[in-house]
Structures are given as C-alpha cells and as structure tokens.
Amino acid sequence: MRYEDQEFDVPPDEFPSPLAFLPPKSSKARPRVVRRDIGSEMAGIQALLNQNFEVSESGEELVASGEDAIAFWTNGIGELPEDWDRFIPDDLVDVTVRQESVTPQVRVSSGVDWLNLDMKFESGGAVVREEELRACLEHGRRLVQLEDGTYAPVDPEKVGDVLTRMAEIYATAGMAEKLPLSQAGRVQDLLKMVQNAKVSASAKTLFSKIEDIDEIPSVPKPRTLKADLRPYQKDGFSWLVFLHELNSGGILADDMGLGKTVQAIALLLWAKSKYKRKLNLVVAPTSVVPNWDREIRKFAPGLKTVVWQGPNRHQNAPDLEKADVMITSYALLRRDEELLQALDLRYVILDEAQHIKNPMSQTARSAKKLSSERRLALTGTPIENRLSELWSIFDFVSPGLLGQLKAFEERIARPIDRGDMETAQRLRATIKPFVMRRLKSDVAADLPDKIEQEMIVPLAEEQAKLYKQILGQVRKSILSEVEKKGVSKAQIQILAALTRLRQVACDPRLMKLPDTEFNDDDSGKLGALREIVDEAVSGGHRVLVFSQFVQMLNHIRTALDSDGVQYEYLDGSTKDRLEKVDRFNEDASVPVFLISLKAGGTGLNLTGADTVVHFDPWWNPAVEDQATDRAHRIGQTRNVNVYKLIAAGTVEEKILELSAKKRDLVSNVLSTEGSPLKGLTKADVENLFSE
C-alpha cells in the first residue's frame, strides 16, 4: 500500500497497526507517524481473495495458480480498482490472451463417391494446431497457444467431443483427403456438434438421400425381372442401386418373409444390364442353396447360375467362366476357401448373414477374405445376442466402418449394454445409411396378423417328480460353479444343466434314464399338442410344429400315427427338403409339418400353414421368429396363430422373463426405441435354478 511517498507491505494473514512510526528525516527532526487506512487495506486483500488467491505457506504472499491464475489473468485483473498499479512480470509482457474461446470450424463437400472434411480450430481468426490442442486437453490446461503466439481459452467438453469424433473418422477411414461415403453417418454426427458448419450443396443432397429413402431416386425394375415388386421392395431395390453407385456395401435387414432374395436378384439383373457380365457369388446355408437356384430361375431366367455344391462340384468349374451367379454354402466357403478367394467377383452376397456373427469364426474370416467389388449382407436378424455380431457383419460389408473390434466393444457395445442411450444414438447415426430394415408392420399392410399365445402347460405327475429330482441335482453344482468361476466362465455347465431340465419339461423319455419306463401320458406338453392338432385339423387349419430335439419329434410322430393324423417331417438328415415343402403347400390332405428348429428355421416358404407351435421355446426369440416366419410371410392370406408351449413351474417360465431382453437389443440399435440387453447375472442364474 502506498501512502504518498511511503510504501508498506500488507501481510495477508496479519492485522496491521493503524499507526506506522518512521524514523525522523534528520537528527533534529521529530519521529514521523503515518496513520494507515486499515479498512481500505483489508478491502484490498479481500478483493484478491475474491479472485481465488490464497495465502502462501510463508504467510507473506497471496498466490493464484492453475485455473485460478488463468481466470485472473484473462478476466479478474480487469475487475480490480482502476487506481491500483499493475506490475507485469517480464515473461508475461508480450503475452496476449484472446477473449474468444477456441471453436471448431468445418467445411464439408462431396463428389460421386467421396466426402471431403476440412476441419480446423480457431479463435478470432487465429488457428491452433490440432496437436497443440490435444496436448492442452491431455494436461488439463485451459489456455492453448495459437499459431500466431497468442493464447485463447478452451472448453474441454465442446472441443474434446469434436476431437473424439474426428479421431473415430480418421481411425477407420485413414488420413486421406477424401473420405469414403461409409463415413457419412459419422460426419453427420460431427456436424451436429459444430455451429455454423459449411456444407456444400452436393453434400447436403447426398446427406438428404442417405437420411430419407424417399429422397433416393426411384430406379425402374429390370425389364427381365419376372416378378411384381411391392412398393417397399421397389424402395429396397432403389436403395441397393444407390449403395452400388456410392461404391458402398450394406445390410438388407428386412424382417423375415419380406422378400430380401428377390430384391437382391433385381440388383444383380440391374448390374448385368448396366455393366458387362461379371460373376457374382451368393453364400447361403446348405439347406437354402437349392432355393436360391430356384428363385433365380423363376424370377431372373436371364441370369446363368452355377450351384457349387456336392462331392462332384469341381466338375462345374468350367461353367463359371460364363456364369452370372455362383451359389454355394457356408460349409464350402471354408472348405473351398482358396478357390473362392481367387475369383474376380462383382458382388459377394451373404444370405442369412448371421452365420458370420462370430468375428473369430473360420466362416467369418473366410468370407472377409473374398475379393469383390462390392458386398451385401441379407439377414432378418442382424443381432441375435450381442452387438459384436453386428460389428462382424459390418466388418464384411464395410470394413473399418465400426473400427477395430476391441475398441468397438469398449467404447460402443459395453456402454450400450449398460444403458447408455447417447452411445446407442451415435451407433445408429453411423450405421443408418447402410442398413435397411423394414418390419412387416411397417410395409405390408395386407399381411395378416400374427397372433401369439403362450400356453402354460402343467407337468404330468411322474414328470413333475422327475423334474424336481433333476433340479435338486443340478442346482447345487451350478451355484457352486458360479460362486467359484463367475457366470461367464460357468456358461457351459449352466447350459448343460438347463438342457437337462428342458428335456424333462418336454418329455421324460428324452433323458434316456436306465430302468425307467415312461409313455406319452407322462408328457404334459405332448398331451397339449395333440389337443391343439386335433382342434386345428377339425377346423380346417394346417400346423407347423417346431422342436429343437429331434428325438422329441420322433415321439410326436408316433403320437400322430396313433391319432391317424398325416404329416410331413423334416430334420437335418432330410435330403428332399423342397419336395416335402412343395407337397405340404400343395396337398391340403397333409395338415401337419414336423420340423426340427435348426434344420427348418430358415430358407423354407410354408405359407400353406396358418398355425405354428413351438413345442420347446428357448430364450433366443430371433431364432423362434425366423421359424414362425416360415408361415407368416408374403403370400400368406390368413391370420397366423402361434402357440408357445411352456411347462408350468419350470425353467421355461423363468426364461420367458429373460427372453424379452434379446428383442430389445435389436430394436435399440436398428430403431429408435428400446432398452439395451443386460447380461446374465448371478441373480438370474439363481432364479433359473430355483424351485
């Protein structure tokens, strides 16, 4: 504090004397007394304390550091009284701190099949290098040095999120000036975070088309296509052509029965008419390969097909030179990997693409090694259990779009599993342009309703006793394993125990216990099924019966034989699948079709039936829906009734509570509503094995 020509230190932690005594100026003069304004001095100290200064350890100084120092230097110093003197340290004399915070500036333009992203960060027209900005955020600083030597404040949340999005884009697309259109979703997500972004007219048009299928130009169906496409199928075909012209892959994820095959066939016909002939490869489940051949012959007779199947398939190799479509199976995709990888292909189309849902499987690895101009995946169930399945399919159709698997699981899948809806929205934005998913309820108003009913069936007397006995045996061992290993490492034991309990719940004979004799009357569900079949046949209805246990189907066959009911039968060993399907669809005197879930859940068109019975429902609703959709698909003209037989008081009832979670995972990522899937917990296991 200065009093005329005299200055006094003001210790911040001491209360000074109001009088200061100074020595006389000469030997004859009297001592001098300065009366200090203690109120003003304390107000000055308080003014600095209000700026978040603190008393130093020595008690002699006021110190501001870190964020408080930056706040004082940028704003607080201007709030001090005007009559205060300010002394600037030498190393801060030339420092200029701008008032404007660093903000991102972005320009987006596009070409036929690329995007250009010009991104920079600036304050008042001065640019900051990205590396300097990242270092500033990593070290927790709130001021960053710009290229002109000045400094500017940084908001870590706003700038940090933008830098994260940019890193995601360049991590998957590389640092090339032109980004592939597979990054369109991420670029749009980035634009939402930046104010006053400048987007070229061509890029705006492109984004509009990607966002809304109605903006995609309608493409006339190929003249050689022998099928009348429904309106939504025309839209799907136009979307496939749009992706083709963008040089991008995609997932046609329409609900089962909406005609994904004919939309894909239309695309192949269109490509052949526009470009010179080139071989395309379709990979499908073994049981579906003949169906693809038949569909192409029916709808696109102008396409020459080669079915690559059977022990003598290599004899067909010369035919590939003039063929348009080669059709093979996932099993042969692995077995003939070297031959298939050597092919020069326009398209690789994976039907029932959930076969590559495990990214570590040999099937997935073989598919991703194929060489083609473009890739397309068809699946009604892009997610059956977990988000890594969706990642694996995208890793085929658009490698790199979702980054590396480990990073995807850490940054995307796990947060969504924990309920992070913002992350789910980001994932939707990324994949939306490259997934087309229509449900029956969305696009097929003329498709009859599917009426589902869960029938809780009591166990037969001896069956209930056996169930309780088996439950007592497995409960103790399973809970012990879970306690020692945890749920994830005890999955094999858990599933084995659940299978035993499900077998008892279906029919005690499935257990094949020695020294025991059971018959049809000892299965509560078999009795219920016979009643359903009797009522359905009497009313002129036709029935599909699905079971995961082939031995159970054999017991059902015996029961229907004794009841005098005619039926068709299909399991994994059946050779003449299509003949059986045709007979059932065309011969109304055969009212029942018995089908093993694994063998008949895909690739069959059974619109001759209007009643579906799941004898042993499991906890994967996606697989059950596929089976049900053998009957509930385009071409069906009647309501489809679906019965799920649930054994009362068993794991089947408890599994009902868990099964809905898997449906929610699909809707959460591919639509705008729903809750994400939670993993199986210790409490879930205890509940499943409780009495």
Question: Are 29 and 119 in a shared domain?
Answer: no
Q: pLDDT per residue over 114-125, tens digit each?
A: 788 888 999 988
DSSP label at residue 5: T
Question: Are 383 and 460 in a shared domain?
Answer: no
Question: Are 88 and 159 in a shared domain?
Answer: no
- Distance CA(250)–CA(291), nearest Å, equals 23
Question: What is the average per-residue pLDDT within 335-364?
Answer: 94
Q: How confident is the model at residue 256 (pLDDT cuts 50, 70, 90)?
A: low
What's the CA dihedral at 231, 236, 237, 243 to 10 degrees?
150
pLDDT higher than 70, residue 671: no
Question: Are 146 and 231 in a shared domain?
Answer: no
Structural domain contains residue 98: no
pLDDT at 515: 80
pLDDT higher than 90, residue 250: yes
Structural domain contains residue 137: yes
Question: Are 219 and 143 in a shared domain?
Answer: no
Question: Are 439 and 454 in a shared domain?
Answer: no
pLDDT at 608: 80
DSSP-assigned states of every residue in 367-429: HHT--EEEEEEE-S-S-SS-HHHHHHHHHHHSTTTT--HHHHIIIIIHHHHTT-HHHHHHHHH
Q: How confident is the model at residue 606 (pLDDT cuts 50, 70, 90)?
A: confident
Last residue of a domain, one of 443, 470, 489: 443
Structural domain contains residue 97: no
Q: pLDDT per residue over 302-324, tens digit each?
A: 999 999 988 899 999 999 999 99
pLDDT at 620: 66
Residue 493 or residue 453, greater confidence: 493
Structural domain contains residue 431: yes
**Domains in the chain, number:** 4
Q: pLDDT per residue over 489-545, tens digit each?
A: 888 888 889 999 999 999 999 999 988 889 999 999 999 899 888 878 877 888 999
Question: What is the average per-residue pLDDT within 133-159?
Answer: 85
Structural domain contains residue 207: no
pLDDT at 124: 87
pTM of the model: 0.64
pLDDT higher than 80, residue 673: no
pLDDT higher than 90, residue 110: no
pLDDT at 177: 66
Question: Are 244 and 108 in a shared domain?
Answer: no
pLDDT at 660: 64
Provide the CATH number for the domain around residue 530.
Answer: 3.40.50.300
Question: Are 110 and 129 in a shared domain?
Answer: yes
- Region of 287 (left: φ > 0; alpha: ψ -120 to 50; beta: rest) is alpha
Residue 679 or residue 221, greater confidence: 221
Q: Cβ atoms within 10 A of the Cβ of 469, count?
A: 10
Residue in 219, 304, 217 with CA at minimum distance from that of residue 267: 219
Q: In terms of residue numbers, what domain contains 485? A: 450-688
Residue 242 or residue 12, greater confidence: 242
pLDDT higher than 50, residue 467: yes
- Distance CA(609)–CA(631), nearest Å, equals 6
Q: How confident is the model at residue 326 (pLDDT cuts 50, 70, 90)?
A: very high
pLDDT higher than 50, residue 386: yes
